[in-house]
């Protein structure tokens, strides 16, 4: 399910987090997806479609696609109470904000620092090469800013491109 929304007043809602807009918001694109792995694929396609419709550059689009992928993946993995993940892509003159909401889980995600480089017995260096646990490191590296908000109704994680 998705909807384009060209009305700034209708697109802003406290449910979607604070939007300290430095310019008039002119578009929002919202969708909901089941909290299953296929929802990540679905969300990436929604972001591509919206960014293409808005004429956003390919590099910015790919960054937004990767960010939504990481945020929705976290919802799928860690929000045991949610059947659905709600998403919103908001566009202002200067930025795109990705917002992902779920019913919450085990606390608010925290910004993580990259692990210290360690050395294997054979002298080879390794630094956090596991497949899991890198999502928020990627978000921190790619997003201009990101944050979270949680209350009794759920958790919102947002990232700006």
Phi, psi dihedral angles at 151 (to 5 degrees): -145, -170
Residue scoring higher pLDDT (22 or 70): 70
Q: How many domains does the chain have?
A: 1
CATH number at 95 reads 3.30.565.10
Question: Which residues, 6 or more positions from 12, have their beta carbon under 8 angstroms from its beta carbon?
Answer: 19, 25
Is the pLDDT reported for residue 106 higher than 80?
Answer: no
Domain ranges, residue 114: 2-160
Q: What is the pLDDT of residue 25?
A: 52
Q: What percent of the chain has pLDDT over 70?
A: 66
Rounded mean pLDDT of the chain?
77
Q: What is the pLDDT of residue 132?
A: 60
pTM greater than 0.75 (yes/no): no
Is the pLDDT reported for residue 133 higher than 60?
Answer: yes
Is the pLDDT reported for residue 11 higher than 50?
Answer: no
What mean pLDDT do residues 98-125 have?
Answer: 62
Dump the DSSP string for 98-152. EEEEES--SS-----PPPPPEE-TTS-EE-S--SSS-HHHHHHHH-SEEEEEEET
């Amino acid at each position: 399910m998705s909807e384009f929304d060209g009305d700034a007043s209708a697109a802003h809602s406290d449910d979607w987090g604070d939007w300290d807009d430095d310019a008039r918001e002119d578009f929002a694109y919202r969708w909901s997806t089941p909290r299953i792995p296929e929802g990540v694929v679905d969300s990436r396609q929604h972001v591509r479609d919206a960014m293409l419709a808005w004429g956003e550059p390919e590099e910015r689009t790919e960054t937004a696609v990767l960010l939504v992928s990481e945020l929705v993946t976290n919802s799928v993995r860690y929000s045991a109470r949610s059947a659905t993940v709600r998403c919103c892509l908001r566009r202002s003159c200067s930025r795109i904000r990705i917002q992902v909401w779920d019913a919450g889980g085990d606390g608010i995600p925290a910004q993580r620092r990259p692990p210290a480089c360690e050395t294997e017995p054979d002298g080879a260096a390794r630094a956090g090469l596991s497949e899991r646990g890198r999502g928020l490191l990627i978000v921190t590296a790619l997003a201009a800013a990101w944050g979270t908000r949680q209350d009794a109704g759920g958790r919102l994680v947002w990232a700006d491109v």
